[in-house]
Structure 1
């Protein structure tokens, strides 16, 4: 009987050049910290890159960013189009710092024109560290898989106390209603989350409510 040939798995280039990759990772951390260490109070705004100008979510993101910028907060986004562009636009309209943390993707166009400072990242996880580290609150607008990833990772970090508790705000009650019902009925009802985990975030509709939540949180703390 002929001995079967072993399966040839693709070689991960991280394994073949592992030590050099670590230097690149450290370099991105250093560049991120150097680029943001003097930013001051800020909010990170997440949302879809596919939301077009004129869409209600685009206008809400712009107004939300403008509201926070007028209140003394810099605005951090992913630096791309859609919700990110709207938020950077809103901050720039108030002459406030408008930061874009861009990720290198083969299908993504150049960054939006409303950033006052822009940093480029190759690694998603380093970029997400910068979103979390330099924000005093997180505003989650409607979005797709990337937005869900950013939202759930932030919630997990707060839930597990890996980062300090801070406001996590979901904008647009109608958009989030189905997901929140699933969390309650599938996760909560089966004991897969604690009852208090539903208090880790707020769900609202207006920029003014978002700013009030954040300001009240820091008055109490």
Structure 2
């Protein structure tokens, strides 16, 4: 063995030399009786936790069937007209044969789950670990809690046939633009994205059509990925129209 080969340490697919070469093998560290516990917080261990979240999420939702996700602010309470609106949309979604998925928290999420449960449908909550714990609302029949936003967002996209987006804050915007980006880049097939509350969303749409489209950042057709409505019936009409047309690819959207 040459000096260069003796200096080389292989750890699975990783090659380590010089100062990167460890003094102990992975097996030695694993079998230590009283070794340090900080390894459970290291990035390689987090990969296992991330994998577990995907496995648990896929396992819980694999037999869910078609579903519509409803997003919106956790801060809007039962006396908000948008709460009642979200409940009515959820009831209509169930009558169409879909399950309802929300983030599982309070506010608009609670309204979506409540409307689905009261209509006799499947009410799903995909929760997220936050510094100020919210917990699953009482109307969730099937709940899955996540540590990582990206794992949770994958479940929303994978198991949804459409998004209904009520007024909300950064979390709602995050889910909205995640879906738009995935459709724009043809990572997923087109599905309906319905914005409820024209007065709330109009400023955003105006900015997109001027500063963003006119600046060449997106194309005019990209804005058409969203439909803005005011009433539950209008939202349900958009979902019914999309269900009638069936899944569309990015090429379909460009042609139309």
- The TM-score normalised by the length of structure 1 is 0.91
Q: Which residue of 1 is the match for residue 138 of structure 2? A: 113
Give the deviation of 1:63 after TM superposition: 0.8
Count of aligned positions: 209
Q: Which residue of 1 is the match for residue 51 of structure 2? A: 26
CA distance in 2, matches of 1:85, 1:30: 26
Q: Which residue of 1 is the match for residue 103 of structure 2? A: 78
Task: Tell me which moved more, 105-114 or 143-152.
Answer: 105-114
CA distance in 2, matches of 1:84, 1:76: 9
CA distance in 2, matches of 1:105, 1:200: 31
Q: Which residue of 1 is the match for residue 183 of structure 2? A: 158
Question: How do 1:58-69 and structure 2 match up within 5 A?
Answer: 58-69=83-94
CA contact (8 A) 2:127 2:135 kept: no
Ranked by relative contact order (alpha carbons within 8 Å, sequence separation 6 or more), the top structure is: 1
Q: Which residue of 1 is the match for residue 201 of structure 2? A: 176
Q: Which residue of 2 is the match for residue 141 of structure 1? A: 166
Alignment deviations for residues 100-120 of structure 1 (CA, whole Å, 9 cap, x no partner):
000011213221100111001
Question: How do 1:49-60 and structure 2 match up within 5 A?
Answer: 49-60=74-85
CA distance in 2, matches of 1:178, 1:211: 23
User: What runs of 5+ residues in structure 2 fail to find an aligned partner?
Assistant: 1-37, 247-256
Match of 2:210 among 185, 190, 199: 185
Match of 2:238 among 210, 213, 216: 213
Give the deviation of 1:53 after TM superposition: 0.8
Q: Which residue of 2 is the match for residue 127 of structure 1? A: 152
CA distance in 2, matches of 1:109, 1:23: 25
Give the deviation of 1:218 after TM superposition: 2.5
Task: Note if 1:98 corresponds to 2:94.
Answer: no
User: What runs of 5+ residues in structure 1 fail to find an aligned partner?
Assistant: 1-12
Which has more radius of gyration? 2
| Segments of 4+ moved more than 4 angstroms | none
Task: Note if 1:40 corresponds to 2:70.
Answer: no
Alignment deviations for residues 38-70 of structure 1 (CA, whole Å, 9 cap, x no partner):
111100011000001110111111111111112
Alignment deviations for residues 189-208 of structure 1 (CA, whole Å, 9 cap, x no partner):
11111011111110001222
Computed over aligned residues only, the root mean square deviation of the Cα atoms, in angstroms, reads 1.5
Q: Which residue of 2 is the match for residue 4 of structure 1? A: none
CA distance in 2, matches of 1:65, 1:49: 16
